[in-house]
């Protein structure tokens, strides 16, 4: 992590000045100077998002358009299917799908959102991976597709039960969107791509907006007393309570989608026996695990005490065991639950719900039980 003296080396989102004006505590994240929290603090920001609406700056994420050189959207979808295990061909217009870029061994290069929008595919990828993701697309799809990065667009996330009412003041059409619907709408005079999705487990929206209009739009949203700016700290605790993976922590190049408990994201059409099985990087390994199971699995974990169990803590089958059987990949305090929560990897034989395991924290063995995720029920508008 960079020291504050080195902050000039960090990139800034179009909302950087607004973060400073609102008292954001800035930290380095994925090469950007980003707000980790504001004056209310992580706990209050988290609970405000669950009860009202939070506005997140996620402009550091990568936005990419993919068009087939043939002009046929199906050709772009088939091309992308060579890089992800998901069914992109059958994705309806105006719908979004969660996907993963995989490598030759089945590991996850990044996770992303894919939307079929008009004559193109619209991709949102992780900030720390966006340069590599664009290079990956160009290396494999340049012969058949035009790949266009969109650095001139910002990305805002408006999350929480009051998000719909707050956004509908700018365009009533947003109320018609269901979870994972996407539409091109005019908001605050700006051409926007609006998806009803997010990273908190709450109902809400992600809004791709021209960078030069992002600050004015964010200010207009924040004029609503139900909407507060929310930093990276609460974003992380919200997604952890929702049981959602953080790339580079809960999933990475050493984990497959099956190990990561992401089987649900791989449609039957791409599996063994489906109409278009395999054909993507790492298909042999992933299809074998879909058919026969993986040796380990990402699980939810509920510590039995009050102490949070953090990322990196080794997991043991008993309080006396000498050999670790797994590792915590995300952990912290869940403000909505008023209790600690975590996720990690365990052998398949130890991954059943309610299995008791122990984490080593500062020389002590703390008990945890395997638990279902999400830890907090989601409130998506279906």
- Condensed to tens digits (0 to 9), the pLDDT of residues 38-90 reads 999 999 999 999 999 999 999 999 999 999 999 999 999 999 999 999 999 99
Residue 79 lies in a domain: no
229 and 300 share a domain?
no
62-68, strands of its sheet edge to edge: 96-102, 108-117, 120-125, 62-68, 145-149
237 and 345 share a domain?
no
377 and 229 share a domain?
no
41 and 178 share a domain?
yes
Q: Is the pLDDT of residue 4 over 80?
A: no
What is the rounded average pLDDT of the residues 354-380? 97
Taking only the tens place, the pLDDT of each residue in 307-320 is 999 999 999 999 99
51 and 184 share a domain?
yes
231 and 302 share a domain?
no
Residue 25 lies in a domain: yes
Name which of 111, 71, 49 is nearest 249 in CA terms: 111
Residue 306: both structure tokens together: 């009050």
Residue 349: both structure tokens together: 């034989």
The pLDDT, as a whole number, for residue 203 is 98
161 and 42 share a domain?
yes
Q: How far is CA 254 from the centre of its chain?
A: 18
Cα–Cα distance between 253 and 240 in angstroms, integer?
20
Cα–Cα distance between 244 and 378 in angstroms, integer?
11
Contact 177/200 with Cβ under 8 angstroms?
A: no
The pLDDT, as a whole number, for residue 72 is 98
Q: Is the pLDDT of residue 5 over 50?
A: no
Name which of 227, 234, 191, 183 is nearest 209 in CA terms: 191
Cα–Cα distance between 29 and 11 in angstroms, integer?
10
Name which of 48, 53, 63, 60 is nearest 15 in CA terms: 60
Annotated binding site: 206
Q: Is the pLDDT of residue 254 over 80?
A: yes
Annotated binding site for substrate: 206
Residue 287 lies in a domain: no
Based on the structure, what is the number of domains in the chain? 2
Q: Is the pLDDT of residue 245 over 60?
A: yes
Q: Give exposure, 67-93, as e/b (b: 16+ Cβ within 10 Å).
A: bbeeeebebbbbbbbebbbbbbbbbee
Q: Residues of the chain with pLDDT > 70: what percent?
A: 98
303 and 382 share a domain?
yes
Beta-carbon contacts of residue 224 (< 8 Å; ≥ 6 apart) = 53, 166, 169
pLDDT-based confidence at residue 2 (cuts at 50, 70, 90):
very low
Name the average pLDDT for the chain: 97
Q: Is the pLDDT of residue 1 over 90?
A: no
Residue 303: both structure tokens together: 């510590």
Contact 304/367 with Cβ under 8 angstroms?
A: yes
pLDDT-based confidence at residue 126 (cuts at 50, 70, 90):
very high
Cα–Cα distance between 77 and 31 in angstroms, integer?
31
Tell which wins on pLDDT, 1 or 116.
116
The pLDDT, as a whole number, for residue 7 is 60
Name which of 373, 61, 46 is nearest 233 in CA terms: 46
Single out the residue in 241, 259, 283 at which a domain terminates: 241
CATH number at residue 310: 2.40.30.110
Q: Residues of the chain with pLDDT > 90: what percent?
A: 98
- Domain range holding 25? 4-60+152-241
pLDDT-based confidence at residue 6 (cuts at 50, 70, 90):
low
Residue 261 lies in a domain: no
What is the rounded average pLDDT of the residues 177-198? 98
56 and 177 share a domain?
yes
Span between the terminal Cα atoms of the chain, in Å: 40
What is the rounded average pLDDT of the residues 348-376? 97
CATH number at residue 29: 3.30.1360.120
Taking only the tens place, the pLDDT of each residue in 287-306 is 999 999 999 999 999 999 99
What is the rounded average pLDDT of the residues 182-207? 98
Cα–Cα distance between 267 and 284 in angstroms, integer?
16
Alpha helix segments (H runs only) across the chain? 16-21, 42-51, 73-80, 130-141, 163-168, 211-222, 232-241, 283-292
Name which of 259, 273, 233 is nearest 343 in CA terms: 259
- Compute the half-sphere exposure of residue 330: CA atoms within 13 Å on the CB side of its CA: 23
pTM of the model: 0.96
Residue 305 lies in a domain: yes
48 and 166 share a domain?
yes
Taking only the tens place, the pLDDT of each residue in 157-182 is 999 999 999 999 999 999 999 999 99
Q: Is the peptide bond before 241 cis (omega within 30 degrees of 0)?
A: no
pLDDT-based confidence at residue 256 (cuts at 50, 70, 90):
very high
The pLDDT, as a whole number, for residue 3 is 42
- Compute the half-sphere exposure of residue 339: CA atoms within 13 Å on the CB side of its CA: 10
Residue 85 lies in a domain: no
Residue 30 lies in a domain: yes
Taking only the tens place, the pLDDT of each residue in 211-232 is 999 999 999 999 999 999 999 9
377 and 309 share a domain?
yes
48 and 156 share a domain?
yes
Residue 131 lies in a domain: no
């Amino acid at each position: 992590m960079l020291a504050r003296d080195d902050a000039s080396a960090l990139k800034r989102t179009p909302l950087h000045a607004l973060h400073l004006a609102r008292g954001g505590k800035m930290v380095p994240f994925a090469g950007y100077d980003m707000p980790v929290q504001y004056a209310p603090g992580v706990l209050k920001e988290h609970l405000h998002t669950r009860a009202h609406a939070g506005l997140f700056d996620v402009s550091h994420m990568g936005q990419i358009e993919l068009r087939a050189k043939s002009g046929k959207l199906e050709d772009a979808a088939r091309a992308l299917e060579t890089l992800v295990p998901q069914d992109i061909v059958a994705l309806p217009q105006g719908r979004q799908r969660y996907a993963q870029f995989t490598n030759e061994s089945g590991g996850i290069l990044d996770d992303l959102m894919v939307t079929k929008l008009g004559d193109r595919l619209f991709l949102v990828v992780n900030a720390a991976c966006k340069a590599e993701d664009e290079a990956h697309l160009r290396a494999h799809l340049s012969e058949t597709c035009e790949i266009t990065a969109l650095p001139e667009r910002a990305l805002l996330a408006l999350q929480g039960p009051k998000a719909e009412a707050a956004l509908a003041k700018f365009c009533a059409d947003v109320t018609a969107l269901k979870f994972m619907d996407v539409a091109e709408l005019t908001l605050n005079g700006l051409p926007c791509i609006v998806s009803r999705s997010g990273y908190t487990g709450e109902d809400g929206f992600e809004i791709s907006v021209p960078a030069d209009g992002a600050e004015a739009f964010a200010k207009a949203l924040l004029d609503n007393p139900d909407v507060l700016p929310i930093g990276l700290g609460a974003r992380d605790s919200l997604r952890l309570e929702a049981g959602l993976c953080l790339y580079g922590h809960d999933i990475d190049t050493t984990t497959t989608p099956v190990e990561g408990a992401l089987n649900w994201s791989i449609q039957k059409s791409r599996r063994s026996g489906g109409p278009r099985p395999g054909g993507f990087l790492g298909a042999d390994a992933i299809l074998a695990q879909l058919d026969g199971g993986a040796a380990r699995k990402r699980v939810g974990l509920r510590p039995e005490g009050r102490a949070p169990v953090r990322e990196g803590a080794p997991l043991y089958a008993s309080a006396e065991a000498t050999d670790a059987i797994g590792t915590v990949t995300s952990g912290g305090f869940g403000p909505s639950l008023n209790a600690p929560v975590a996720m990690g990897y365990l052998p398949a034989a130890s991954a059943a719900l309610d299995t008791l395991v122990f984490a080593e924290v500062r020389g002590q063995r703390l008990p945890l039980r395997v638990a279902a995720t999400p830890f907090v029920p989601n409130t998506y508008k279906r």
